[in-house]
Amino acid sequence: MKLYLLTISALLFGAITLSAAEATTPAEAAAEIATPKTEISMKDFSYSFGYEIFSGNKKYKLILSPEKLLEGFSDGYAKKPMGVKQEDVKAQHGAFMTQMQVDGEKDFTDEKGILSYFTGYKIGSNFAANGIDELDKNEALAGINDAKEGKEPRLDENARKAVMEAMDEKAQAKAKAKAEAVKVESKKFLEENAKKEGVKTTESGLQYTVIKEGEGAKPKATDTVKVHYKGTLVDGTEFDSSYKRGEPISFPLNGVIKGWTEGLQLMPVGSTYRFFIPSDLGYGDRGAGADIPGGAALIFDVELIEINPQK
């Protein structure tokens, strides 16, 4: 997904990721960073970003609050706790969708600023994770206001597209170089981990240990399962936990990452296993959002609570 195509729909229904590209060596990636195809002005990029993000969401009949958008961006970029609750985001998005069903021609103004803040926060987090410089807030606001007021933009469409694509290329090169380094560390971790007592390795490279062995049935890939889980990076950084949310989750086993699809089929109901998942059985070179870098091996403690067989 190109940076200049980010919209509220992408933010609400999935993680923001940069577009994939062919693999390069760390040296090639570093060369791309050093010599981008187009010289990038952060003022031009910030203006273009502001203009495009407002215009893009206006097509969805959603009118963002510029101030809240930039406030959210700043907090996300600085990795501060998100300043809105997820339930409030869902409620506001629900109100937006309801209005679209009732009167799809009418604009929905985000008066509370909840969707605007959330949009900005997710983009800011993504920028920070991908090594993109922080926005020039004044220029971004100028771009938003020009789009909002229907003024002639300071940069025409071709110029905006060129600067946004140049930044996207630079970010991709940084992400590729980072993924290569992460993969090296992940491989080293898994090689050492495989030697530890109690660690089993499958043919695919998935590693696991049994924390608690249950006595129930084992799921098939076509089943839906209910689990509690905690996920961390190999350095111990926790990126997700159903335990902290206070409720387990249910999902089709063939609809998740390969490491989970394979690993949970080894588990009888009532078991808790720890999985050590290579990146190619996880999120690959692209990673997932701001918390899981490309190339990362992942560690999951998974408790299998229930199986709902396919009917």
50 and 136 together in one domain: yes
Q: Is residue 186 part of a domain?
A: no
Query: Between 62 and 298, whose confidence is greater?
Result: 298
Q: Is residue 189 part of a domain?
A: no
Q: Is residue 154 part of a domain?
A: yes
For 189-253, what is the HEC assignment? HHHHHCCCCCCEECCCCCEEEEEECCCCCCCCCCCEEEEEEEEEECCCCEEEEHHHHCCCEEEEH
37 and 86 together in one domain: yes
Q: Specify whether 239 is catalytic.
A: yes
- Supply the range of the domain harboring residue 122: 3-177
Confidence band (pLDDT; 50, 70, 90) for 35? Answer: very low
Q: Is residue 187 part of a domain?
A: no
> How does pLDDT run across 59-86, given as a tens digit for each residue?
778 888 999 999 999 999 998 999 999 8
148 and 229 together in one domain: no
> How does pLDDT run across 149-187, given as a tens digit for each residue?
889 999 999 999 999 888 888 888 887 888 888 899 999
**Number of domains observed in the structure of the chain:** 2
Q: What pTM, to 2 d.p., does this model score?
A: 0.61
Tell me: pLDDT of 33 over 70: no
29 and 158 together in one domain: yes
49 and 99 together in one domain: yes
Residue whose tokens read 């097509």: 59
Active-site position among 88, 133, 240, 301: 240
The beta strands (E) that lie in the chain are given as 62-63, 108-109, 200-201, 207-212, 224-233, 238-241, 249-252, 272-277, 298-308
C-alpha separations of 166 from 119, 155, 171, 260 in Å: 22, 15, 9, 36
Q: Specify whether 110 is catalytic.
A: no
Q: Specify whether 300 is catalytic.
A: yes
How far apart CA 140 and CA 145 sit, in angstroms, is 9
Active-site position among 60, 239, 280, 291: 239
Angle between helices 66-77 and 114-129 (to 10 degrees): 30
Q: Specify whether 257 is catalytic.
A: yes
205 and 233 together in one domain: yes
Active-site position among 133, 257, 280, 291: 257
Q: Specify whether 4 is catalytic.
A: no
154 and 239 together in one domain: no
Active-site position among 108, 283, 292, 307: 283
Which has the closest alpha carbon to 8: 99, 122, 100?
122
